[in-house]
Structure 1
Amino acid sequence: MLAGRRILLIIGGGIAAYKSLDLIRRLRERGAAVTPVMTRAASEFVTPLSVAALAGEDVHADLFDLTREAEMGHIQLSRVADLLVVAPATADLMAKMVGGHADDLASTLLLATDTPVMIAPAMNVRMWDHPATQRNLATLRGDGIRIVGPNEGDMACGEFGPGRMAEPLEIVAAIEGALSDGPLKGRRVLVTSGPTHEPIDPVRYIANRSSGAQGTAVAEALRDLGAEVVFVTGRADAPRPTGMTVVEVESAREMREAVMDALPVDAGVFAAAVADWRVKSASASKIKKTAGQLPVLEFEENPDILRDVSKLAEGRPALVVGFAAETDDVVANATAKRARKGCDWIVANDVSPATGIMGGTENAVVLITADGAEAWPRAAKSDVARKLADRLAEALKKVPS
């Protein structure tokens, strides 16, 4: 897919710059040409010689290279690539992109280009969570910048949380999706997946029996059709998909917040098994077992994410797809759910224990739309996902991008 493609790789100044070396290698082994650009700070973490050796091309670093600037080299660099990739994208580089700064070669290239841009953010968790960075992230998304990562994990500074740069193969998958000529190229889609966990106390929780396999398969199928996918997942058993932004959450309230932060999108596929209720006052310490006494748990409703998104007055996705896991009267219950929630489609399935669907590798669904109910034959969850992605792509053809 990347053979003959040219990637302009801008390497920012962060500890994650070392991953850019492996990223270059992975891109080149897939046939892509990589033109490297380094910020001054990047050269403090990896040497230009190492980058040039792996890329097989000179490193560009100086805005005022007289030989190249005689031919307006910084403009040409930004125009001949198929995609500009910033990895790592530091908080500083993201801020420069938002502000339209052009005080070095990297920021000038990003301002002068009309080529699609993808960033792989990497920074300390506090910097990532800072309101300024989150405002900048929202602006970049609104400007059409593709974003892959960051991941959650241990930081070089010793802290833990979101801010780790996506792994090279994840970025490669995202690049392949961005350069795909599939029918969803240029579209942004949100997918929710997995169960939510609602705490009772620090060691106990309420959850649904969802592996997250179907939601993951849907996200991968949409990615393969060229969509930019934001994947919001609870604590699912299924491996996380690559080539997209993955946001991990625990509770329904956290999932709702992540969903709202991901908007606007062209379509939303809500495959998560969100718990309907939560304990009103979860205990801060473990509830001890006492002979002859049972704890009394008072419940309250969780936010209805599907309904809230479906009924947005502004920023509603053009297509909102919900899921309905039923054990009785599947079509009738799912049809009623579609009307109640206000979504466009419902993907319904029978999850009775005898079906083996919940947690299994196959699914048998009924697609509920305004035109009625359409039963699909039982198939692998990946096949169901591809069929749904194809239908979604067909529907979005009628919606201006």
Structure 2
Amino acid sequence: MNTPHPSSPTPPPPAEPTRDQVRRWRRYLADEIAEAEIYRVIAARKNGPERDILLGLAAAEKRHEDHWRALLGEHAEDLPRPSPHRVLLRWLARLFGSVFVLALAQRAESDSPYAKDQHATPAMAADEAIHEEVVRGLASRGREQLAGNFRAAVFGANDGLVSNLALVMGIGATGVATSVVLFTGIAGLLAGALSMAAGEFVSVRSQRELLEASSPTQVTLEAAKHLDLDENELVLVYRARGMSEEDAVHRAQERLGHLSCDCNPAFSAHPDGSQGPVDYSEDHEAIGSPWSAAFSSFCFFASGAIIPVIPYLFGMEGLAAVALSAALVGVALLCTGGVVGLLSGASPLRRGVRQLLIGFGAAAVTYVLGLLFGTAGI
């Protein structure tokens, strides 16, 4: 058992703690045990500094646990279940690992009641405040690793949800046949997904073409032996790549064989001004393939756009189909909004509700327009 933190002396317990105090301290103790376990579970999947940091957090929670055990005495047995939030975090940690759990744990640390509880030491309140920043730093690493393709997937699916729900709601409100709504929804899915895929293909392809146009070629090596030594055009090549005149002259002399050097032929100036070999293949790999980017965008958008159409695929019609479509999309919007909140470090619930309101707002506008310009009006 860890000894109490030297700067966190345990205050003497009240002569006879009240039932409310015992209940509150038991809840604190259960939560501290759960939090320490959460950090240990995540640490078991990590290596290096991150593992050490997480184990340090678990050790701090153990000190807090010892504090409440000392105050509770005989009441420290048969503890209640931790708060539902911490039960969820513990389950997620065992199932999924760290990224989302750390983002949620960050918010849990920020909601610590110790600053307002006279039986929690100032050092414990300070620990919790520091823990929030530590977990924020760990969570930000995870967000950076996850932010690329996963963020694109979430936003692509969200675009499909909102745009196709608005389309289906608007057409459905006009009073046309169910088959028309169904085919309109499918057409919206394909049109939106193909548009996203085409846009992503063009974007990635253009980036690769720009990079290829900026990459140096081997023509300088082939032409070097024919250059006029008094008017060395090779110097201009290297100066155009960002070298100083002195470095360009030196590099040209190496290429012409007047100086010995085992440097990479793709030598150029780095964007930050440093000198050294540049591997342009890494830039191409970072940008990715235009075909894979297009396919991913198509699938992300389609995965969201299919949800509003589901009731119509099963033959539902009228208000029942509209209501079920809105309900399914509402659940999906809450999920995608919550994920965006986790990735951005904001409240998942608040982001989910915001996304829900935006999606339903767009759908409500098109639904009203559909009512106004329905089959009767047309």
By relative contact order (CA 8 Å, sep 6+), the higher-ranking structure is 2
Q: With the length of structure 2 as denominator, give the TM-score of the two structures.
A: 0.21
Which structure is higher in strand share?
1
Which structure is higher in helix share?
2
Larger Rg: 2
